[in-house]
Each structure stands twice: as structure tokens, then as C-alpha cells.
Amino acid sequence: MGNEPSTEVDEFASPTVLEARNIEAVAKYVKKHNVKKVVVMVGAGISTSAGIPDFRSPDTGIYANLANLDLPEPEAVFDIGFFRHNPKPFYALAHELYPGRYRPTIVHSFIKLLYDKGMLLKHFTQNIDCLERQAGVPGEKIIEAHGSFATQRCIECKETYPDEEMHQMVSKAEVPHCHKCNGLVKPDIVFFGEALPSEFFDSRFLPEEADLCIVMGTSLSVQPFASLPSMVSPGVPRVLINMERVGGLGSRSDDVLVIGDCDAGVRKFAKAMGWGEELEALWEETNPDPQKRAEENAPLQTRDERLQDEVDRLTEEVDRTLGLTDAYQKKVREKLSHDKAHRQSGGLDHVFPHLARSMHELPQNLLGPIQEFEKAFTVDRSKLKEIVNHFVKELEKGLSVEGGNIPMNVTWVLDFPDGDERGTYLALDMGGTNLRVCEITLTEEKGAFDITQSKYKMPEELRTGTAEELWEYIADCLQQFVETHHAGENLAKLPLGFTFSYPATQEYIDHGVLQRWTKGFDIDGVEGKDVVPPLEEILKKRGLPIKVAALINDTTGTLIASAYTDSAMKIGCIFGTGVNAAYMDNAGSIPKLAHMNLPADMPVAINCEYGAFDNEHVVLPLTKYDDIIDRDSPRPGQQAFEKMTAGLYLGEIFRLALIDLVDNRPGLIFNGQDVSKLRKPYLLDASFLAHIEEDPYENLTETLDLFESKLSIRPTLPELELVRRLAELIGTRAARLSACGVAAICTKKNIESCHVGADGSVFTKYPLFKERGAQALREILDWAPTEKDKVSILAAEDGSGVGAALIAALTLKRVKAGNLVGIRNMDDMKTLL
């Protein structure tokens, strides 16, 4: 189950519920456990054998084919702004993709077979081709995350459009118009920037109920769909049938990879289940025409022949449909180029196309405040670049002898894992709410591991208790874990990776002096002291065979854990309650280590702690609300960058902006209503804004319910539009500023392309955070419009668990090699070998 695609499944990592990590063992599991809640997640790869190209494959994907046509950029065909201006290219493409032109694949019939056997809990699809429906899967079992051609409506008045008329218009590649208002009609496909269907959000937690998860034909590169597999409960097998490993699948002990063609993969699965003939018969029913069956058995075209046929057909169709003169095409391209430059210079309508539709409907007295908010919270390209230039200087200053606002802490993690790390390690993750203990075995297969873990609730009284109470409680949890999982065993000493996610000064990897408590802790007798010796002393008194091999920060753990499964990972980030990043520098680039005479090319992981960027307020675009947050915070003048980007503060910025309107423009919003709850500082968090942005309804009923339940305020529809716009602006600013830290590290290290492993509640749960950050990176780093993202921010592996174990393993590898750098007590470390 390594980083490289392989047709072999992992034979080394011991599964928890499966007999082995192969498809035959999955079949046995299904029969033995009477599996009845299968969740299936698919992408365009399951439809390619039907003749429908996927979107992103080089050379053969839809976007690659459209690039050969005369469009400003391939993605424009799914851009709502472009569609309003010129819907004909979309309908030329719709003519090719419309349901009825293609036969379902055997994968679609496999999904139907799961339904027929009463095993299908829900089918999540990114596809818009309706082939699941055509194969006979009922609509109530399907979640079309990106919409589909199944229904259509006017983009202006929302009037539905008759199915039969739609079919007739699309078959002629003509543009349908609304019978009621003559507005453009569009299939209910999600265009760029539009909200996903409400059915997706209503069902997104269903994977937690699954007793089997099957993922097929997807790159898992688009959020929030990409996060669905991670919602499957631990211990539930996940099967990936795909051309390559994606989305961290393979990291769990009961994950099974079937790398290759999806059709072949489901046939293999069906054979293992004893369903082979039944599946083939079911698929045969989808194509009753004998002539077509004969055609399917004809020799396949080569890849180049299929590509050329596709390009020729689409080119001819679009040319015929558009019928544009060269002069007019040039005029349109110039207009789009101008619009695109405007969008990249700070306009947000390309990200939120519904705004162009709704803003003109607002009362004039609300348009002024919205425009003021837009001016205050919009960070354009030139400002982003200015911030990044200053950011780079601050990073370098933090590495200097004198230091700076950004600490740039040396972690004494001196290399990335190479996949050859072996052994069993404990990991202790001390977070703000829970204490997690993990046992992680790094197996023979590169990039693979087994994990057993337990969580323990941190008692509320412990937050303000004593140091002795803290260490005793942690020892209790470790002892309970060891006794539960190793009862009666004569254990050798276990190395422990301790994730201590609080600011600490480290002179050694197994040493750390707490600078100050955060996250609501105020335990007496710990600040200013090394946190390792008191824990080890209590463990020794209890006779527990545990030794701290590494004390780490969760951000450094995120970097190392992500690099273990993806060699392209160069940066680890946290976008959550706080913000931070870690990366690998060279000793020769760290002046404050010059006195140690280390080899100049020695890798050294740096924990930036860059929430303190621009504490002097030189370059960050502060609003009056940011000033209030800083002034009223426990530490004014500190953590300036964090206060503008972290989840802890986004809700408070939003609240302050609304209170500003209430107090300084009486009667403008919430007129005559009790706003006393809105006056409570930090009542709202980032999730409040996220729920507003996720509201899928035109009348914003979910936002209305949110305001009523949380604030006892009932906004009007125009007021709801205002608060949605405000939430979008604050969320977008946070994402765009967050991208500056990543861009600064890339610039400093001359990194042209890499993966960034990201974790934290804002990254994983805030809608469009990743997409907005990616757009900002594109603007900052000047990628050409046709270039793919060179720096991709992806979901990270388990930094505080797996990362801690890996860093412990890397430390012991150094000890074995005699590398003493950054290790306090070599003799103690040798007892772990």
C-alpha cells in the first residue's frame, strides 16, 4: 500500500477486520458480516469505457479536448458568467454528453446489483451523465454531488423546464429559453462557484454508518467530495478500484487497493462474491441491440484514434453551432480577457456567481454597506504579492541570530522519511479537548502502517489543575492503553513520540520548555519548565516501559506524516483554530545554527509559528474590526496574522461588522429586534460562517434558522443576502491570506511545484477554503491560465499520531547511525534500539 501505484495489495500490514488486504478477503467479510450498508463513491473514471472522457486526464479528458477548440479556456464551458454571455459552447458539449447517447458501463451495473441485493446505503457520484439512473439505480439512492442532466431550470426565475423539450433542444444543440421569463435554461449541473446540491450536504455524514466503502474512478481532488472517504468509521473496510492511489486510501489497516481499470476491478469483485454471471447478465440488459453488442466486440481503437475522433467531433459540433465570424470571436476573447483580468485583480463574482444575480435585488441602503465591506475585506493580487515579499523577509529574519516575530523554531527533525522506517511506536497526542494514545507499526511496505488508538477525555478541572495532576493523568492513560493491548506481555521499552502542540523552546528533539499555555489551559508549575522529565519520572515509577524519543509540534508531524505517503509533500500546514506551517530547510541557510558547524546541506525541519507574522502591522490589510480584536485580546500586538486568518477569530470579525452596522447605522438591519445576544464577544465561531456559506437555498432558509436559533434574530431576505456576502468576504480573505504563508515558503526555498499537506478544521470543514487559497496561489506565483496548479494543497495524513511515530523512528535511525545532533541523552536513546 505504498506511495507508488501497484497491482499488488499490501501483504504486510496486518488488517483489523479482514483476513487479508485483498478483494477475496473483502468478499469473505461481506458474506460473514452480512454487509447491508455499502457506500459507493465514484468519479468520471467509471464512465470512460462508455466513451465519455473524464475531465482531467491529460490528452484525453474533456478539458484537454476542449483546449483544442476556440474557447478562452477549457473550464469556461462550465463558468456561469461565460454561460450567461454565450451558452452555445456548453450546449454543443451537452449535445455530446446528454443522457441516452451512451450505454452504462459494467461498473454502473455493479452498483445496480448492490441495490438489487439490498446492500446499497447510498451512491455518491461526481458525474453528471446519469448513467447510474440509466442502469436502474433509483434516484433516491443517488447523491449527484455536482448535479446532473436529470433536471433543468431557468437561471433567472428558477422555473423548471420540461424534460421532453429539453431533450429536443439538446439533441439539436440549440439553447433553450424559459417559457415564463425568456431567461436561459441550464441543467441542474453545478458550475464553478455554485453551491453543491442540498442533498449532498444533507447526506454527507452517511459514510459514518457504512459497513463497507467502495471508491472508484476518481482523483479525489475536488472538495468537499474528496473528504467523504475519511468520514468512514475506523475499522470499516475501504476498497479503492482506480487507476492510481488517491486521497490517502491505503493508509488504514483495512484498506484494499485494486489498482487498474474499473471494469476489470468490479468483475474481479463480482467473481469473488460469486456474482460474475449475474453481473454480466445485468449489464447485458442495458444494451438489448444485437448490432451494438457486435460493435462492442469489434477491435478497439487506439488511444490516438479515439483522441482524434473526439477532437474532430467536438470541433465540428462547436463550429457548426456557434457560427461566429473570426472578427466576432476576437471581440469575445478580448472581452473575456478583460473580464478575467478584472476577476484576478480582486473581484469575487467568479467565485460567487450567484452574487451577480442577487445584489441588484437588494435595497439601495444595503448596497452601500456591502460595497464598503468589499473594499475592506478584498485582498487583490498586488496586495497579495506585497504581503508575500514581506513574509519572505520575516521568515529569513526568524532564522537569523537576532531572530524576529516569526520564531522559526528548529525542531531537530533532520530528514524526511524514506519509507524504510520500521518498528512499533507509541504516539501521545495532547490536544485541547482529548488525549489520544496510538500504537503505530511501520510495516515492510513503503508508506504503509497499522494503527491502534484510544481517546481519553481531558477532565475540565485538569485545565486549571497542578502539574502533578497533569502528568499523573497522562500516565494513567498510557498505562491503561498498554494494559489493554499488551496484557501479560513482557514488553521491551517502547519509544514514544509526544505531540505537545503548545509553544515550546527545543534545544533537543527529546526536550522542550513550555513557553506559555494556550487553548484554555492554565496548569500551574509547567510554564518555563521542560515537560519531558516529569512525565518520564512518573512512567518510571509505575514501571511502564516507555521512553520519550521525540517531542514534536503537530505541524511538524503533519509535514512528516504527509511526506511518508507522498514524496511530493514539502510543506505541512495547519489551518484551524490557529495557523502554522513547517518545512525542511538546510543548516547552511539557518544563521542561528552557524555556531554548531553543521554540514551546510543537512536538512532541518523548521516549525515556523508564523501566526506572529507582521506584528508591527507593516503590510497586512487591517480593518477596524481587526484592530478591535487585537486591542481586546489577551496579548495585544501579537499573532497579527493568526487573528486575520484563524478559525478562532473569523466569527468574531463577522460579529463585530454586524454590530458596527447596528450601532452606527440605526435601523439599517435587524430593525426593532433584540440584538443582545449578538453583543456577546466570541459567541460566533468559524462554523457559523461556514453554515451560512453552505446554505443551498435561494431564500437562505438555513441561514435564517441559524440566526433564529443562535441569536434570536429573524433577518429579512435582503439582510440575509448581506450577511452571506459578509461571510463570503471574511472567509475568502482568510483563505487568500493563508495562501501567502505557503507562497512565501515556496518563494524562499525556490520551490516551483510541490504538494502541501494541510490539516485543521478550517481547511477540512470551511466551504471553498481550499479553492480560494488555490486561486490566490495562482495569482501570487503567476501561473499561466492554461497551467495546472503547480503547488497543490491536499488533505494531510495524521500528523499528531502517525507523524509523531515517524519522527520517533527517524530519531532512532539517527541514534543507530551515531548522529548525535539535537539529541540530549544518547545513552537513554540507545536503550530503545
Angle at 504 between CA 501 and CA 507, to 5 degrees: 130
Contact 774, 793 (CB under 8 A): yes
SS3 category, 124: strand
Contact 436, 455 (CB under 8 A): yes
Provide the H-helix boundaries in 542-594.
Answer: 554-565
Contact 211, 38 (CB under 8 A): yes
Q: Which residue has cell 470499516? A: 236
Contact 608, 581 (CB under 8 A): yes
Burial class (CB in 10 A: 0-12, 13-18, 19+), 82: buried
Region of 488 (left: φ > 0; alpha: ψ -120 to 50; beta: rest) is left
Question: Could you give the CA distance from residue 392 to residue 747 in angstroms, rounded to a whole number?
Answer: 7
Question: Cell triple for residue 389?
Answer: 515579499
Question: Could you give the CA distance from residue 558 to residue 309 in angstroms, rounded to a whole number?
Answer: 45
Residue 289 per-residue DSSP state? -
Question: Cell triple for residue 244?
Answer: 492510481
Region of 768 (left: φ > 0; alpha: ψ -120 to 50; beta: rest) is left
Question: Could you give the CA distance from residue 114 to residue 112 in angstroms, rounded to a whole number?
Answer: 5
178 is in an annotated binding site: yes
Number of Cβ atoms within 10 Å of the Cβ of 697: 11
Burial class (CB in 10 A: 0-12, 13-18, 19+), 715: buried
Virtual CA dihedral for 749, 750, 752, 756, nearest 10 degrees? 10
Number of Cβ atoms within 10 Å of the Cβ of 331: 12
- Side-chain-side CA neighbours of residue 765 (13 Å): 17
Active site residue 146: yes
Number of Cβ atoms within 10 Å of the Cβ of 296: 11
Question: Could you give the CA distance from residue 729 to residue 733 in angstroms, rounded to a whole number?
Answer: 6
157 is in an annotated binding site: yes
Pick the catalytic residue: 95, 123, 146, 755?
146
181 is in an annotated binding site: yes
> Would you give the distance in Å from CA 440 to the centre of its chain?
24
Region of 250 (left: φ > 0; alpha: ψ -120 to 50; beta: rest) is left
Question: Cell triple for residue 103?
Answer: 450505454
438 is in an annotated binding site: no
Among candidate residues 212, 269, 268, 216, the one with its CA nearest the CA of residue 247: 216
Does residue 224 have a cis bond before it (omega within 30 degrees)? Answer: yes
How does 210-223 read in b/e, with b if 16+ C-beta sit within 10 Å?
bbbbbbbbbbbbbb
Among candidate residues 82, 159, 155, 145, the one with its CA nearest the CA of residue 349: 82
Distances (CA, A) of 785 to 73, 123, 352, 790: 8, 34, 19, 12
Contact 809, 425 (CB under 8 A): yes
Question: Could you give the CA distance from residue 211 to residue 37 in angstroms, rounded to a whole number?
Answer: 5
Contact 58, 229 (CB under 8 A): no
Question: Could you give the CA distance from residue 155 to residue 178 in angstroms, rounded to a whole number?
Answer: 9
Among candidate residues 70, 142, 89, the one with its CA nearest the CA of residue 111: 142
Which amino acids are annotated catalytic?
146
Known binding positions for Zn(2+): 154, 157, 178, 181
Would you list which residues are annotated within the binding site? 154, 157, 178, 181
